[in-house]
Structure 1
Amino acid sequence: MRDTLKNDLSCALLDWYDRHARKMPWRVGPADRAAGVIPDPYRVWLSEVMLQQTTVAAVRDYFTRFTVRWPTIQALAAAPDDQVMGEWAGLGYYARARNLLKCARVVTDQYDGVFPDTYDTLLKLPGIGPYTAAAISAIAFDRPETVLDGNVERVMARLYDIHDPLPGSKPLLNDKAAELTPTVRPGDYAQAVMDLGATICTPKSPTCGICPLRDPCQARAAGTQPDLPRKLPKKPKPTRFGHVYIAQRTDGALLLERRPDRGLLGGMLGWPGSDWSEVPVESPPFAADWQVLAGEVRHTFTHFHLILRIWTAPLPVDMALDDLIVMEKHAFRPSDLPTVMRKAHDLWRNR
C-alpha cells in the first residue's frame, strides 16, 4: 500500500513538473533531460551554493555573470580570490564565496576537475553540507537522495498534516520526503517538489485547487494548510553599532582594509572601523581631524541589525599603515565591497 501511494504521488508530481517546470539558467528541463541532455555538475553545484539563504530572483544575474566569466570549475579554481569575492559582493553570506573557491580547487586538484557523484564523497568537500550534497547527487547524477529545503519541508508538513514546529520536526519531515523519493527520475522529482513549494504550495495563500497533490493532502482535508509548517517564534534581533573611517588622498586613492578570513564578511574589502557591539570603541586608523558625517548606515544581517557612523578625513600622502591598503582611484570599484560597506561609500560620496 505504501509503495502504491509513493508511486502515485511521485508520478502525479512528475507529470505536473513535465508541464510546469520553472525555467532557470542552471537547470536542464524535463524535456531536455528526457532527450538525453546531462546536467553539468559544476552549474548544479554553483547554483545550489548561491541559492543557500538567497532567492532565485537574486541569484539569476550572479549565476550568469559567474558562468560567463568562469565557465568551468577549472577556470573558477584558477581565478584570483579578489575577483571572485568582487563578483560575489552583494549576494551575502560571504563564507559561501570563500568555500566556493576552496571547493573548486579541491575538485580541480584532487578529482581532476570532475565532481564526485555520491552523497558521502560530496559531503567531504568544502562548503558542502547535507542539503547541498543531496541536491547535487540527485539533480546532477540522478541518484535517489532526499533533498529537503524550505519548500520541501512545507510540502511535507502539509501533505501529512504535521504540526510539530520547525526546526525540531526536520527529521520527521526528512523521513516523509525520503519515503516519497522515487528511484526513477529522482533528479527531476527533487526539482519538482521544490517547484511545487515555490509556485503552488507557497507560504501564504497556497493555490490548493490546482495542486497535483491536492487529493491526498491531509492538511487540505483538515483545513490546516495555511498554518503549516509551524515554527518556533523567532527571538528579536539585537542591534549593534560601529564606526567606519573613510580616508581619501588628493589624487583619489582610498584607504581600505581586508577583513580576516574568519568571521562576518571574511576576506572582503571594507573600510577600517571599530568593533560592532552595543558600545563600540572609536578606533580611527591614524590620528587626524576626523569629521562625522550626517546620517548613518543601517544594515541587517541574519542575527542582528547594524547601525554605523561614518567618519572622514584626508589621507596623508605616502602614509604606510600596517595591514591596510591604499587603493588607487582607477583600481577601486564600489561593486567589490560587501553591501554594508557599499552603503557607507554611498553616504560618504553623496555627503
Structure 2
Amino acid sequence: MSIADKLLDWYDANRRSLPWRSAPADHAEPYHVWLSEIMLQQTTVATVKGYFEKFLSRWPTVVALAAAPLEDVLAEWAGLGYYARARNLHKCANVITTGHDGRFPETEAELRALPGIGDYTAAAIAAIAFGESAVVVDGNVERVVSRLFRVSEALPAAKKQIKARTAEITPAQRAGDFAQAMMDLGSAVCTPKKPKCLLCPLHRDCAAKAEGDMEKYPVKAPKKVKPTRRAISFWLVHDGDVLLERRPVKGLLGAMPGLYSTPWVERIDFPVKAEWLEHVPTDDYWKPLEGLAKHTFTHFHLETQLVAAKASARHNVENGFWHPLDGLENVGLPTVFKKIALLARSS
C-alpha cells in the first residue's frame, strides 16, 4: 500500500470530529473551511471551536459576514489574537460577495488572490472544499513529513523541501482528506514530544523511526531572543465609565478598542513622569498605580505600568469613547488590554 492509502485508511477510522469538517470523501462547505483555517492560524483547535460556532451562528454565510460592521466582527474575534486576521476576514468576505457573487473561487490560484489568504490557506480550501490535488502543509504536516523523510535542513529554510516531499505523497483523489489526515496524525500521534510511533500507520515508512531520533525533527534554527517593550497606559474613569481608544485601522491591533498609552518602545526602564505627561489624553490629575501588566506578542514582550485619574467631566478625546465599567467584558478588548484593565480594577 502507498503512504497515502495507509494514511487514508487510518483517517477513516480515527478522524477527529470537528464542526467545520465533512464526512470522509465529501467536499466540505468552503465558507466553513475558510473561516476555520483563518481562525486556526497560530491558535489551537480547542480554542477555535467556540469562536467558530459563535461566528457561524451570528453570520451563517460569507454574504452575512460581509454585511456585518467591522467593529462587530472585531468584537467577536476578541481573545483570538492576531487581529489582522479578523480585518482581512471581513475584507475577504466583501471581495467574495461583491467580486464573486458570494461564491468562493474553486482553484488554489484564484483563492490565493483573495485578501488574507496565503499559500497554505489557499491550498487547504482548494483541497478540502473543492477536491483539488493541492499540497497542504501546516505545522503538523511539517513535523510528519520531516520525520518521514528525515529532512536534515533546518526550518524555515526546509519549508521548500518539505513541501516538495509532501507533494510526492499527496494523492490525486481525496487530497482534502489526506491533508486533514496528516493534520490529525501530527496532532494526535506524531507529536512534538514522545510521539506514539506504535500507533502510527506510517511507522514502517518513517526514516526517523528507523533511526530512533524522531524528536530531532523538524530541525529548527535557534530562536531569536524577544525584546521587551515598556509603556505607560492611562486609566481614566468618570461616573462609572472608562475612557477607551479606538486604535488606528493600520498597525498592531488595528481598529480594536484599547487604552491610551505612551508608545510601546523597547527600553530598559519605564517612561518617567515628564515623559508620560506628554501623552495623557486629558489634563486631569494623574496618579501612578502599583503593579505591572505583562503580555507576549509574536515578536516582543510588553510590560505596562498604569497611571489613573478621575475625570472632572466626560471629555471628548480624539479617537476616544466612553464605555461602562460594568460591561467592559462586552466591548471586545484584546487580551493585552484585558490584563491592563484587570490590573487597574484590582489596584
Q: Which bracket does the TM-score occupy, shorter chain normalised?
A: over 0.9
Q: Which residue of 1 aligns with 2:3?
A: 9
Amino acid at match of 2:159: K
In the alignment, is the contact (CA less than 8 A) between 2:131 and 2:175 conserved in 1? Answer: yes
CA positional deviation for 1:334:
4.9
1:170 aligned onto 2:166: no
Report the 3-state secondary structure (helix = DSSP H, G, I; strand = E; otherwise coil) of the residue aligned with 2:342. helix
Q: 1:13 touches 1:192 (CA, 8 Å); kept in 2?
A: yes
Query: Which amino acid in 1 is paired with 2:15?
Result: A
Aligned partner (choices 236, 248, 254) of residue 237 of structure 2: 248
Higher mean alpha-carbon deviation, 129-138 vs 278-287, is at: 278-287
From 123, 134, 140, give the equivalent of 2:129.
140
Does the aligned pair in 2 maintain the 1:335–1:342 contact within 8 Å? no
How far did residue 258 of structure 1 move? 1.1
Contact 2:150 2:208 in 1 (8 A): yes
CA contact 1:161–1:224 (8 Å) conserved in 2: no
Cα 1:124–1:306 shift into 2, 3 Å: same
Of the three residues 19, 30, 45, the one matched with 1:25 is 19
What SS class does the counterpart of residue 6 from structure 2 fall into? helix
Of 250, 265, 272, the match for 1:277: 265
> Which amino acid in 1 is paired with 2:305?
R
Deviations 1:81-139 (A, max 9, x none): 11110110110000000000000011011111100010111011000000000000001
Match of 2:290 among 291, 294, 299: 294
- Within 5 A, what are the aligned runs for 1:161-200? 161-200=150-189
One-letter code aligned to 1:326: W
Structure 1 pair 93–56 and aligned structure 2 pair: CA distance change class (3 A): same
> Alignment identity in percent?
49
Q: How does 1:202-351 map to 2 (within 5 A)?
A: 202-250=191-239, 252-279=240-267, 280=271, 281-282=275-276, 283-328=279-324, 332-334=328-330, 336-351=332-347
For residues 79 and 334 of structure 1, the distance between their equivalents in structure 2, rounded to whole angstroms, comes to: 17
Please give the secondary structure, in 2, of the residue aligned with 1:336: coil
3-state SS of 2:198 partner: helix
Q: CA deviation at 1:328?
A: 5.0
- Residue of structure 2 in register with 1:3 after alignment: none
Which string of whole-angstrom CA distances, capped at 9 and with x for unpartnered residues, describes residues 133-177 of structure 1?
A: 000000111110000101111111111111111101110000000
Q: What's the C-alpha RMSD, in Å, of the aligned pairs?
A: 1.4
Q: Is residue 51 of structure 2 the alignment partner of residue 55 of structure 1?
A: no
Cα offset, 1:184, TM superposition: 1.1
> Take 1:342 and 1:23, find their aligned partners in 2: how far apart are those partners?
32
> Deviation string for 1:316-350 (max 9, x for gaps)?
32422222223356775455100010111111122
State TM-score, norm by structure 1.
Answer: 0.93
Moved more, 258-267 or 226-235: 258-267
Provide structure 2 residue ranges, at least 5 long, that are not aligned to the other structure: none
Give the paired residue count: 339
Q: Which amino acid counterpart does residue 263 of structure 2 have in structure 1?
A: D
- Partners of 2:205 and 2:319 lie apart in 1 by 62
- CA drift at 1:29: 2.9
